Each structure stands twice: as C-alpha cells, then as structure tokens.
Structure 1
Amino acid sequence: MAGNTSHPGASVTSRVLAVLGAFDADHRALTLTQIADRAGIPVPTAHRLVRELAGGGALERRDHGTYVVGQLLWDLGLLAPSQAGLREIASPFLHDIYGATLATVHLAVREGAEVLYIARLSGHQSVPVVSTVGSRLPMHCTGVGKVLLAFAPAEIQQQVFGNLTRVTAYTITQPGRLEHELGRVRETGFAQTHEEMSLGACSVAVPVMASGTAVASVGIVVRSLRTDRDRLVAALTVAAKGIERSIGP
C-alpha cells in the first residue's frame, strides 16, 4: 500500500503526500475509493483532500469518475534539476534542428515502460502529432520511444513486448519483429516509424548517450521519410552529440 497514514497523529501534509503517493506507474487513474485504500486514509478524508487537490490543479477528475495526476504536478516536475537541466542544455540544439528542418522536434526520456515528452517545437508542416509536453506514449510505436527502448534494460523490453498495443494498422505488434528492429536501432544509431502512432506521420530519432546509457532521445516528425531521412538523421546526430558534450562524462 502506498503512503499508509492509517496510524494516529498523521499530519495533513502527510495525508496529502499519501494521496499523491497513491499514484504510480501501475496506477495512473484511480477512483476515490482506490485512492483512500492505497493512501491508508478514510474515504471522507480522501474525498476532502482530493477535492482540494483537484481544485488546485494537482489532480484532475476524468468524466468516468477517476482521478489522474494534474498539470500542476507536471509543471513542478519540470523544475526538478534533472529534467530542467536537460531541457536547458538541449534547447539550443533543438532550435538548431528546427531551424534546419522546420519540422516538429521532440526531446524525450524514458519513464518506466513509456516515453515521456519533455520538450517540443511545433513544425510548419500539417502533420498529425499526438504528443504534447508532459504526455506519455507507448515506446514501441514512436521514434523517440524505439530509441529509448533499444537501449533500455531487458526487463523493460520484456514488459513492453508483453503489451504491444495496436494504435494504427501499421503498428508493430509482433515481439520478434520489434526485437529485430531494436537490434537495427542499436546497429545504425537511429529509429524510425511509418504511421505507427498516427496516420500521415512518420518519425526518426537518435539517442543522447551518457556513460553508455541512453539518457534521452531527440526526434523529428514529418509526413514522409522517403527522400529526407538521411539528412534528418544527420541533423539529429549532430544535435545529440552536442547535447552529449554539454552533459559531460
């Protein structure tokens, strides 16, 4: 149970933290009863705290009665030294890519078995892009996600292989085929998608490496990769190397 505060004398602060701690990678949407149970507090207390947190933007109530983490917590999370530092370091390189391509540019990191988008520059082309800053998407059908998955620990890869949800008709849902593609990513240094996340959109991405680990991925979303893929990979690679040098060893 997350953040158990059922013992007497628990402060209001500890109960608020217990409510927020009820959410994790496996429990992203919870009912009020589930929040109370996981936080170890009575339902009436959970109701009052959740209502106040939702009013302040820390939680968000969905139409079907469940609650999810709100935008306020995401905005605060961006102030954490790790993500804020990475965004600040990467910003000029992302703008260089954007200036050279006028395409939508992403900076993403892995969060559990999903890809978390921490920066985005919107392109001029009319290309369907479903990502937003702070959004989490499947790793197996996004360019930045495939890159991070290719260098992820084996247990994360197996978790993803066990849940290859089909998003479009072109999404890879066969573990063997995806495993082969991840091997190619490690060999060539880039990943690509062809309408696997949204129809009419292709992407290409490369890793940002530090101490032998892919700490982030930079990617571009375009209509097609038929003619410009190599040029886009080259631009992304230059940017990624610049970010790596700025991060240091």
Structure 2
Amino acid sequence: MTLPGREAAAGQTAPGHGGKPAVGEAVIDRAFRLLNSFDSEHRVLSLADLARRTGIPRSSTLRLARKLTEAGALERLDDGDFVIGLRLLEVASLAPRGHGLRAVAMPYMEDLFHVTQQHVLLAVRDGDDALLVERLSAHGATPVRFRVGGRMPLSATGVGLVLLAHAPAEAQERALRGFAPKDEMNLMEWDSAAELRRTLAEVRRGGFAVERETGGTLSTVAAPVRNADGVVAALSVVMPSSELAPGTYVTAVRTSARAISRQLGAGTRTS
C-alpha cells in the first residue's frame, strides 16, 4: 500500500508557502509523511533530517516524532536519532496481501528455492509498482538489488510484467504511456510502447514471462499467482542468463505458482 504523502518523502517539500505544511493538512497525513522519510538508504534519521525531508517545521516534527515514538511507530536511539519502530512491523504482519500471502506461499517458495538454488521472488501490485513481499536467495546466487518491501516499476522485472499483464486496463495504459525506453538502470527495456504491449499479450496468452536483463547478465522466469478473484501476486526465479533453461524453469515456476494459487482458493469462485 502506498502511504499517504509518499510524494513528499526523500526531501521533497510538502505543499504550502515557504515549505510549511498546507493549511488544514491532517495530522495523520503529516505523520505518514514523516514515516515516509525513511527508506532503504535512510534507515536512521535525526530530527533535523526529518524536518528537512518532510518540509514540516522542526518544532512540529519533534511533536509528531514524540507521539509516534510513544505509539511504537518510531524508536529513538541513545544519540537522539530516530528509526522505524517494531509496532509498524507488528501491524504490517496483519496485511493479507503481505505476510498473509507470504505465509501461504512460503512452503512452495522454499521448495522452488531448493530445486533451483537461485533467487525466488514473490511480489504484488501496488498502484503502478511491483512490491516485493518475500525473497529467498541462495548463498552463491548472483547479487541482485531487490529487497523485501522494495518497489520496482511494473515494466522492469519478470514479476512486474506478470502483474502488469493482468492489471486493469487503466493501469496498463499508464505504463504504456510512461514506459521506460532503453536505460541501463532498468532490468527490462523496451524500444517502444508497442513492443511492451505485445509482450504483455504474450504473458497473458502463455501464462508466464521469460525476460533477460540488459546486457544479458540476469534472466527471470515469472508466473501469476491467483485466488478466487484473479491474479493477486507473481512468483519468479532470477538466475544468471548463462544458466537459463526456459523449459525447466518455466515448469518449476508455474507448478509452484499453481500450488500457491490452489491454497488461495483459485478456481473456487461460484458467482
């Protein structure tokens, strides 16, 4: 789930004159903007950092941070800096599309991991991103930049392509309008929106995605995970392109994805 005020994180100034919060902005929105200041590269933030990254005055930032600390959403270190609190992890564990899905999928992901000895990823769609719910990685697997809780553009990974192929039409059109042309920062690249559109059609028709990273270093095989209402997640294996054996990996990934889908009630809808 995209937290309110996500666009104000990473140092962007919140709406309002002179960098001050907009008049009438709800306290909860400001609190979420404060929480959104943290990311994988900014796990520990000082009060000054929080004020700067949210655009909220320092005195108000301190009051919010204290309240969030009292609630367990933040923790304060001995030196006065702040980190995310365990209460957020406790609450997040109740999310059915996060840990709930992970709990069902984990036994099958572990089987797939033991068979392939590669990276095994489970992701869901959240708006225009793929959100990584779980990752299992072999000790000797090629390093990747995916992290649990991390976001990826839907058109940039195998799991993203599967999720995008089964997303509502409006989500697909947004991706097609803003598709990333060839860029070394993206795993999957497209020369045109038409090429991406054809790929999405092939994913829907075949029931899986097989894609190569730019430069051919890594490849991914992904398949959809369903419940009674449709596609809710995507499962994939990421491996060195030199080890890609499409027939073997496609069978293994699709078999695991179908097993998870059965546990989630795929095919049981009666209306």
TM-score normalized with structure 2 length: 0.69
1:46 to 60, 65, 74: 60
Corresponding residue of 2:30: 19
Residue of structure 2 equivalent to 1:130: 145
* 1:63 corresponds to: none
Give yes or no for contact 2:157–2:188 (8 Å, CA) kept in 1: no
Q: Deviations over 1:86-125 (max 9, x none)?
A: 1110000001101111111001100110000011100244
Equivalent position to 1:190, from 205, 208, 211: 208
Q: Give me the whole-angstrom Cα distance separating, in 2, the residues matched to 1:242 and 1:169.
A: 28
Checking the alignment, whether the CA contact within 8 Å between 1:141 and 1:172 is kept in structure 2 is no
Conserved? CA contact 2:156–2:187, under 8 Å: no
Q: Give yes or no for contact 1:210–1:247 (8 Å, CA) kept in 2.
A: yes
CA 1:82 to 1:169, structure 2 compared with 1: closer, same or farther past 3 Å? Answer: closer
* Pick aligned residue for 1:202 from 207, 219, 242: 219
Instruction: State how far apart, in whole Å, the 1-side matches of 2:134 and 2:170 are.
Output: 27
How far apart are residue 49 of structure 1 and its match? 3.9
* In 2, Cα distance between equivalents of 1:139 and 1:101: 24
* Contact 1:192/1:204, CA 8 A, preserved across alignment: yes
Are the aligned partners of 2:179 and 2:190 in contact in 1 as well (CA < 8 Å)? yes
Q: Distance in 2 between matches of 1:129 and 1:75?
A: 27
Equivalenced residues, count? 225
Distance 1:172 1:74, change over 3 A: farther
Give the unaligned 5+ runs of structure 2: 6-20, 43-48, 76-82
By how many angstroms is 1:185 displaced?
0.2
Residue 233 (str. 1) matches residue 247 (str. 2): no
3-state SS, counterpart of residue 241 of structure 1: helix
Query: What do the CA deviations read for 1:158-177 (whole angstroms, capped 9, x no partner)?
Result: 22223323325962252110
Q: Is the 8 A contact 2:223 2:235 kept in 1?
A: yes
Cα distance in 2 for partners of 1:183, 1:225 equals: 26
Specify the code of the residue in structure 1 equivalent to 2:142: V
**Matched-pair identity in %:** 30
Map Cα deviations across residues 204-243 of structure 1 (whole Å, 9 max, x no partner).
1000022352100000000127751111111111111111
Q: Deviations over 1:144-202 (max 9, x none)?
A: 00000000011111222233233259622521100100000001111122114x86211
3-state DSSP class of the match of 1:140?
helix
Residue 178 of structure 2 is aligned to residue 163 of structure 1: yes
1:174 matched to 2:188: no
Q: Give the 4+ runs in structure 1 shifted more than 3 A.
A: 2-7, 20-25, 28-36, 49-59, 69-76
The 1-side partners of 2:85 and 2:216 are apart by 28
Task: Tell me what 1:65 maps to.
Answer: none
CA contact (8 A) 2:97 2:124 kept: no
* Distance in 2 of aligned mates of 1:71 and 1:96: 32
Q: TM-score, normalised by structure 1?
A: 0.75
By relative contact order (CA 8 Å, sep 6+), the higher-ranking structure is 1
